[in-house]
Structure 1
């Protein structure tokens, strides 16, 4: 059965339109309840569809009904973006995908403006559909409300089953570790920093969507940018990831991550890898020397990440997450750091007599070169590390908490500075007497 990926859009539709149709990669475009309609205009010259400016039409309707304003103190959900990805084993063609998508759209969004853009820009050139649904009901003028996102996926599976499509499993393996003696704490589920199981690896190798990878990529960005738990939770909120505590009966304390629009898709931190567990993350927040990008880089990374989430650009988010993880692993603070790390690995590789060790060095060099190319092209890292980062009150910070809430190092520096000032005033007072 096909996979359904859902995400909320909070801006106008022009950005999502540009993303979906850039570089002429759209295989085909289908429209419902716009200036072209696949039902009412069936049989007419399809070349007319090229004149449809669907983003402008959606934005105008939403504005006319006042549905682009905040709702109950929250940002307005301007549109819903769904991706329908068929099972690679079905070998479904574009027309088969269109038939499946049309049936699903008609069932759920018959009273909404809908644009469907088809791509095949994955590894195996398997067509998939991007479905953009405006938030305004044409009959009532009210905002779109999805009471149960899981039902949307279930209905897609039912439609696919009726059309003879096969099952498409994307479930995490079942089961959990048994309880153990509290005097001997259980070991984590994996010692690997990033853990990808067989099921997830199969999906990635097939160029298919994996919700587990999607969550891991979002959490990767958040953990590298965060200096404390508060920042971590705030960035995850911006990345549309929800967090909860795991069961009190679980052998190890951990966080459970889920996508805001697909709350049934849940995975514990340590199943993503050792560095994603609550225990490891808490320790990271407490370490003074933990790696963090500088302020400008952090802002650029977060901006790119939130854009990728809103546009549902899974590939871009994956590349970004891989780059920030590489930068953290090798403590990259500037473009110059890449060169130094690569040169050191090159010298080590030249000295290695063991083929396996030399091959590992080559892999790390390739990893760094890939990260350097990505970060440089997108301006995510400075050419040189700032030498005067710590001055007059501590390291420059970027954070979501009020400015009055300073970290321990800032308070310590300021306290020491104030103490020195009081001592100078005391000495001056003594001399004046």
Structure 2
């Protein structure tokens, strides 16, 4: 057994202390290194995140500048700002979409098309993207591609705003068909859109206007009348329905609608612009004249659809008007001494009329009543008189103007699906 105070025991104790010191020193060094590394990692992470946050802030800032420039109608400035935004955040779809819009508005059709096509690869059913592609194809003159993209937009995803947006796209497609003179296709799209729309005066007026522009006055009048039914005191609806009924020859309906339109218009327009006041006054005067004409025209009608006795009465009334007009015109074209219709001294364009009226001078009401051919002959003579005198002596007024209008061939209103 080694004594406790022996040199060997002391050496072992010293060695133990040295080992413990080394272990403690190494542990402390490792701890310091670990803490330093953790601190450096934290600082690096903080700086990285700070840098990323700064990049995102810059991206948002530049994208907002681009969005504002688009709203202000400055697409070129928007393109520059959005390119910077995408430099900070290149994979952001919303920035790519804004840039595509800006490119399209700035007239860079090919670039905008490429951007929208790339966006459609990831979102093929997006209604907005397909609508923009349709507009771009329309600008490039690619009709079939534009039509296909319009239809894709109609049936695409509008993120909860589908009903109104699909109606809007159909109206735009109908406008494109009308622009290409494909009126049958335009009317079909409009009628589908109208069938899916709420029944309001505002929308029915819109569809009436669009159908009229697409060459479908029959259905246009239907929707104008629906607008009147929705809002019986809507002056615009009453006026448009009345004008169209007048154009289509339904004078009784036109008189009713135009009279009601005048009643619903304020006597004194609430506008400050003198030019607007003048325009509204002129429009009111025109409507009043149309209403008077609509009331008078059925009394002058020489239509074969009238009962035979009524048509004979109308012919005698119109005969007096036409003969007076011919006398007046002949007087202007000849000397005062030879102004009578019984003379042949009128100007050459009136010679034939004078001869025909002499031949028809003996026609009585009884003869007209019992002879449809004689009625047709007299009606044609009256219309020819108004037509020739309007060419020789200028535009007629009053009943003569109405007879001239009645004598002009009327193009029947086409219904949906009828050929052009």
TM-score (norm 1): 0.22
- Greater percentage in helix: 2
Which structure ranks higher in relative contact order (CA pairs < 8 Å, sequence separation ≥ 6)? 1
- Greater percentage in strand: 1
TM-score (norm 2): 0.23
